[in-house]
Chain A
Amino acid sequence: MKTVVTSGKSGAFSAVHPAAAMVYFLAVLLISMFCFHPVLQVEMLVGAALFCITLQKRGEALREIGFYLPLFLMVAVTNPLFSHNGVTPLFFLNGNPVTLEALLYGVSLAVSVIGVLLWCKCCGRVMTEDKFLYLFGKLIPKLSLILSMALRFVPVYLRQSRRVIRARKAMGLFSGKGITDRVKNRMRVFVAMISWSLEHAMETSASMRARGYGQKGRTNFSLFRFSPADGVLLCGCVFLLAVVWIGRAAGFAAFSYYPRTGGIGAAPADLAVYAAFGLLSLLPFLLEVKEVIVWSCCVSKI
């Protein structure tokens, strides 16, 4: 699992071949987005959180709780305001019941939204642009360029807007006295950023064309070798995905919120589905732990 180049703070999972990593992320996201079973959701969230922590510095992870916690509360509370199904009314709002079931479903939705956000974030960290272009550059050059540009849009946008703000400050155009003034200033920067981002996208595509992107015989910036370990990982992902998918299609690990929350199944087949998905979502963290153990062993030998 050795690669020539990995950019950013790299965990053990960043060294995995892009094809295996892509299949892994697709498998996890597919299950995360369509399963609302509490056990699977908890596994999904824990796996995502642990993976995120391995990819980030400590302070960063703590700061992000300040963003995810309000989001969680907002999604969880919004659902019972609009959905009134459920057998346990807590109180009545404007003549409509606010039920326990709707609240639970809201919590489940919130977990799902935050889990998928976290997984996408990890995916963005691991699947850098060069990996993305390596995978799809030959196959679908135009689409992969657009996708890679879209994926890096937000970080590039933030960086550039910080630059614009600094430039405006240096020119003395930033009077940050009251909140309304600050909001107005931000709006001006935002307008400037829209035209900049459109121009930037055109420039990028022109410069890629000038470099002969998408033509035959062009090599990639980063080269990746598909090692046997990557093959094992890929097969493992597909197998675990198949177990979860077939198990769910056969009606195991099913859960319903309305009108009354169902029980959590504990039959052997249910447990197999939980175990398969638990292993799948904890895989990157386990790889990281393994790497740390191997490293500490090596250090102690020196």
Chain B
Amino acid sequence: MKKDILAVFGIVLILAVLINGTHIQSVDEYYLTHIDDITPESETVTLSIRCDAVLQHYDELDPALRSEEFVPPDGVILPPTKYVLREGDTVFQILDRAVRSNRIQMEFQGAEENPFGSVYIQGIHYLYEFSCGPLSGWMYRVDGEFPHYGCSRYKLHDGQNIEWIYTCDLGQDAGALWMGGEE
């Protein structure tokens, strides 16, 4: 009997930890993010999200995504927009704020699940890794350079320009040469 009570107690404890660790938000609550107003003295960065490469590799795209709703005809998911930089903001935090305020769908792998200890962006605007051929996925570029580490480790400074680019061949079409590109 004693052992049973102990077992029940253990199960209740595990459940309590699980419930404590989950955080449920309604749809409106989630998208309701506060975007700071730009004032003359605030530090800002520019963010854009593009998927031009998909338009060139349209035949490789997942048939379920072949519509203007999911792939904009000009390849622009988010035009260059200025966002206020908060203290210690990383590329991931700016992206997260931007997609929430624009109601753009995004899925990511958390830093604690990732072998590189950084957030990995799996999909933005229903465009996922491998949606357009086996070498496709999301990459980011800051001031024209592709950093060699994850987006939640990149601390931003005033005036930087962040571009999220969808690639169909490991970054060569976007101009990242360090993944085995030539020239």
A91 near B25: Cβ-Cβ < 8 Å: yes
A85 at interface, CB cutoff 8 A: yes
B4 to chain A: closest residue by CB? A178
A262 near B27: Cβ-Cβ < 8 Å: no
A-chain residues with CB within 8 Å of residue B22 when the two chains form the complex: 93-94
Task: Say how far A92's CB is from chain B's closest CB, in angstroms.
Answer: 4
B13 at interface, CB cutoff 8 A: no
Complex-state Cα separation, A260 to B63, whole angstroms: 12
Q: How many A-B residue pairs have CB under 8 A?
A: 61
A92 near B126: Cβ-Cβ < 8 Å: no
B27 near A89: Cβ-Cβ < 8 Å: yes
A93 and B23 contact, Cβ closer than 8 Å, known pairs A180-B4, A181-B3, A259-B70? yes
B64 at interface, CB cutoff 8 A: yes
How extensive is the interface on chain A, given as a class?
20 to 34
Task: Say how far A251's CB is from chain B's closest CB, in angstroms.
Answer: 9
A178 near B3: Cβ-Cβ < 8 Å: yes
A85 near B126: Cβ-Cβ < 8 Å: yes
Q: How many residues of B contact A (CB 8 A)?
A: 24
B-chain residues with CB within 8 Å of residue A87 when the two chains form the complex: 105, 126
A92 near B65: Cβ-Cβ < 8 Å: no
A178 and B64 contact, Cβ closer than 8 Å, known pairs A92-B24, A97-B105? no
B25 near A84: Cβ-Cβ < 8 Å: no
Complex-state Cα separation, A89 to B62, whole angstroms: 21
The 27 listed contacts between A and B (C-beta, < 8 Å) are A84-B107, A85-B105, A85-B123, A85-B128, A87-B105, A89-B27, A89-B105, A91-B25, A91-B27, A92-B24, A92-B26, A92-B27, A93-B23, A93-B24, A94-B22, A94-B23, A95-B30, A178-B1, A178-B3, A179-B7, A180-B4, A256-B62, A256-B63, A258-B64, A258-B126, A259-B105, A259-B126
| 4 nearest A-B residue pairs (beta carbon) | A256-B64, A259-B126, A180-B3, A92-B30
Chain B positions within 8 Å of A, measured between CB atoms, are 1, 3-4, 6-7, 21-27, 29-30, 62-65, 70, 105, 107, 123, 126, 128
Chain A positions within 8 Å of B, measured between CB atoms, are 84-85, 87, 89-97, 177-181, 254, 256, 258-260, 262
